[in-house]
Structure 1
Amino acid sequence: MQQNQLFALTSPEIIFLGGGTLSPEAINKVRKKLPQTQMIEFYGSSETSFISWQAVNDGKKTSSVGKLFPHVELTLGPKYRLTVKSPYLFSGYLNQPYPQSWTTDDLGTLKNNHLYLFGRRSDIIEHGANKIFPEEIERMAKDLCEDCIAFGVFDERYSQKIALLLLNPIEKEKLIKILAQRLPKYKLPQIYLETPTLNFTKNQKISRKELEKEYFRGVYHEL
């Protein structure tokens, strides 16, 4: 999960929204505060620049990041890895050749020229034989707390256990009961943690790897 950033254009009537995959709920919050403003969500990375965009004043589909920019070619590799080829690619790292394409850390699929993201490859939770996207769990718990982040923690038996860090959650017994109705058993968290605040990196992002380190340091309290 990432802290979405807001960038105002020269015209106050239009704003670009980016920095992460925006949820429909986040779009609604911005729309309530800026009802007369046109909102455009864009998706891209430092290496690829712009990949896709969409107008979101009328809402958006979960996980959608819009249609591809002109001249962007997207290839779906093994396990939904995204490789981008476009005139917007960066010029390469120091002492390396100009890249002809770039494979991102994001995983997703393309439907009718619209891109849908599942999550980041580095964030996948390896629980037993299952590969679980933390965003799937977060979507099911988002209305049961103020905010939440799912992440994996090392476990000798399962490779990783699923941890769910919650900000101002409902009562634990009720929380677990509702999640058990929404998620298959193998996606249910084994660890529930509570925090008064969420810590972001200098780039205003959430690092799930850092959350795992903080868990083992005892930073968070069991719910």
Structure 2
Amino acid sequence: MHSTKETMPDAPDPNPMPLDHLAERGQGDAPALVLREGTLSYKDLRTRVAGMAAWLRDRAPGNGARVASWAAKGELTCLLPLACARAGLVHVPINPLLKRAQVAHILADSGATLLIATAARAKSLEDGDVPPGCIAMTEAEALAAIADCDGALAPSQADPGDLAAILYTSGSTGRPKGVMLSHANMWLGAASVSHYLGIESHDVTLAVLPLSFDYGQNQLLNSWYAGASVVPLDYLFARDVAKACARHAVTTLAAVPPLWVQLTELDWPQDAVAPIRRLTNTGGALTVDLVRSLQDTFPQAQLFPMYGLTEAFRSTYLDPALVDSHPTSMGTAIPFAEILVIDDAGQVTGPGEEGELVHCGPLVAQGYWQDAERSAERFRPAPAESRYGGTAVWSGDRVKRDADGLLYFVGRRDAMIKSAGNRISPQEVEDAAIATGLVAEAVALGVPDARLGQAVHLVVRPAAGVSDAPDRLAPALAKELPNFMQPQTIHWREVMPVNPNGKLDRTAIARELGA
């Protein structure tokens, strides 16, 4: 059994606070958030959070009410995590890449009472997408109303165990499910990452990951925990990232492997490279070649490969000093995490033995929102060997630990597709294909891809009497699924293989495609 909590000499403070108190940590005149329209100091941050929280309390009365946001990065999306926490509300950030069908599900499932969206996104919603009891307004309308609000809420006295956010994430089956995160989950996640990355008040984080992702949100929170500044960026091209690094003297850059591939193919100007002190990777494993390319491109920066799951935030990181000698390792547990490897008999494995990664400790989420059945599958009692006890996340990921305590990824137990850092439910893609009426059967798979990690491939049998299905399916899916879920390749079959039980033989199809 191994935990960095036992080995790190100067562990972060284990006492969580209400999440909105992050606004109080930086020096008053120091930059906290660098936006296109100007920079907010920590003094500004405190004022804006207090005002936004007062407006939210009036607009969405009742502790625990859910407030959804569906917008690009900006003042509203960056401040809502703290403002909702101060108002006693629960923030539901929605990935801006999602389409109306997924958003309608999230709104209905979460029971949101307020949706704030950019005008174009709000306009894309159809009758019935916004459930009764939910008010939808544009981002511009919300910001104008907040500016007209004279109220201000003082820092909250919430119980750190109270629910603060619901992050929706895909599973291997069905629609996205909401992971319930408490103030303590998010506060301790910020404290943990800020500590092991060594973030300091003079650091500048370029936030390129979506704020609806667990680590995307943590880019904000771990920076504010340290009193550092954040530059949110929605980029179109990889060169936009390099330009922003130069413009803002960025010291901390996080990305997923496909973006790292694009970034290492650029010719980086020296003024963009020089300030960067640390690179952090999430959303998929780095290959040895990509590690070497990153080291060549950013020779002065420390590289932090990381592994995590939304249900427990981060789980492990690899010490940069070990990247050269162990480039494929997941590393060891982050502060406040205890990672056990459990075999099929329920026993802790020995060195070199494969088992399931089980995450114990205070970073473990509170379960899935209003889904006791799926919560019971993933959130189960911690193994008897755990120091923390209580509830643990049973990840479904197969790993090994070597004699030095370093962990290595082996594979997933379920059929989840991970593409460009996104978790994709095969069933959601399959259901969308069948719902078009163009296909009778569908199987979605992740096929290894050098740039994406996995590419979505869809194997389908056309519906009877639909001769033009091959021409119509891709455009139909483009209307219903976000871009990252679109099949890269659609394979048409007159007959689909079945197993002895008469079910579609996914194993045979995967073997045929090299998945």
The alpha-carbon distance between structure 1 residues 89 and 117, as it changes in their structure 2 partners (threshold 3 A), is same
Partners of 2:307 and 2:317 within 8 A in 1: yes
The AA in structure 1 aligned to 2:290 is A
Percent identity reads 17
User: What is the Cα deviation at residue 46 of structure 1?
Assistant: 0.9
1:94 partner SS: coil
What is the one-letter code of the residue matched to 2:324? G
C-alpha contact (below 8 Å) 2:358/2:395 kept by paired residues = yes
Q: Does 1:116 align with 2:432?
A: no
Structure 1 residue matching 2:293: 3-state secondary structure: helix
Distance 1:215 1:105, change over 3 A: farther
Structure 2 counterpart of 1:110, which letter? R
The verdict on how the C-alpha distance between 1:73 and 1:118 changes in structure 2, with shifts beyond 3 A counting, is closer
5 Å-filtered alignment, 1:124-203, equals none
CA deviation vs aligned residue, 1:13-49 (integer Å, no higher than 9, x gap): 1121121121221111111111111111111111121
Partner of 1:49: 313
Q: Distance in 1 between matches of 2:455 and 2:342?
A: 25
Spell out, residue by residue over 1:60-112, the C-alpha distance to the aligned partner (whole angstroms, 9 max, x if none). Answer: 42541111223413132326222221211122111257841111131111223
The yes-or-no answer on 1:81 pairing with 2:81 is: no
Provide the C-alpha distance between the structure 2 equivalents of 1:72 and 1:16, rounded to a whole number of angstroms: 21
In terms of fraction of residues, the more strand-rich structure is: 1
Distance 1:215 1:74 in 2: 39
Q: State whether structure 2 residue 326 is matched by structure 1 residue 61.
A: yes
Q: Which runs of 5+ in 2 are unaligned?
A: 1-255, 261-274, 345-353, 380-390, 417-446, 461-488, 494-512
Task: Name the larger-Rg structure.
Answer: 2
Q: Aligned partner of 2:294: which letter? A: V
| Secondary structure of 1:87 counterpart | coil
Higher helix share: 2
- The counterpart of 2:398, out of the listed 107, 115, 130, is 107
Q: Alignment partner for residue 91 of structure 1, among 346, 366, 376? A: 366
The equivalent of 2:454 in structure 1 is 206
1:25 to 262, 269, 289: 289
Using the TM superposition, give the Cα deviation of residue 4 of structure 1 relative to its aligned residue in structure 2, in angstroms.
4.7
2:252 is matched with which residue?
Answer: none
The whole-number CA distance in structure 1 between the counterparts of 2:319 and 2:369 is 36
**Structure-2 separation of matches of 1:62 and 1:36:** 17
What value does the CA root-mean-square deviation take over the aligned residues? 3.5
Q: Which whole-Å CA distance do the structure 2 matches of 1:90 and 1:30 have between them? A: 33
The separation in 2 between residues aligned to 1:3 and 1:211, in whole angstroms, is 23
Matched residue, 2:301: 37
Specify the code of the residue in structure 2 equivalent to 1:13.
Answer: R
Contact 2:316-2:333 at 8 Å conserved across structures: yes
Going from structure 1 to structure 2, the CA distance change for 1:92 and 1:165 (only over 3 Å counts) comes to closer
Structure 1: runs of 5+ lacking an equivalent: 125-163, 168-197
Q: Residue type of the partner of 2:413? A: R
SS of residue in 2 equivalent to 1:12: coil
Q: 1:212 to 1:35 in 2, by over 3 A?
A: farther
Sort the Cα spacing of 1:94 and 1:21 in 2 relative to 1 into closer, same or farther, 3 A: same
Contact 1:63 1:118 in 2 (8 A): no
Q: Aligned-pair distance for 1:216?
A: 3.0
Whichever residue aligns with residue 217 of structure 1, its letter is: W
Give me the whole-angstrom Cα distance separating, in 2, the residues matched to 1:117 and 1:123: 16
| Alignment partners' CA distance in 2, 1:31 and 1:73 | 28
- Aligned amino acid, residue 77 of structure 1: D
Q: Distance in 2 between matches of 1:120 and 1:64?
A: 16
